Chains A and B, each alone.
Chain A
Amino acid sequence: MPHDHHDHPHSLLPSDPALRVKALETLLTRKGLVHPEALDAIIDTYENKIGPRNGAHVVVKAWTDPEFKAALLADATAVVSELGYYGRQGEHMVAVENTDTQHNMVVCTLCSCYPWPLLGVPPAWYKSDAYRARAVREPRKVLSDFGVSLPDDVAVRVWDSTAEVRYLVIPQRPAGTEGWNEDALMALVTRNSMIGTGLALLPEQVSE
Chain B
Amino acid sequence: MTDNPTNTPEDMDGPRRDFLLISTTALGVAGVAMAAWPFIHSINPAKDVLALASTEVDLSSIEVGMAITVMWRGKPVFIRHRTAKEIEAAEAVDLSELRDPETDADRVQKTQWLVNIGVCTHLGCIPSGQSVGDKRGDFDGWFCPCHGSHYDTSGRIRKGPAPFNLPVPPYVFTDETMIVIG
**Are the chains A and B members of one assembly?**
no
Chain B interface residues toward A at CB < 8 A: none
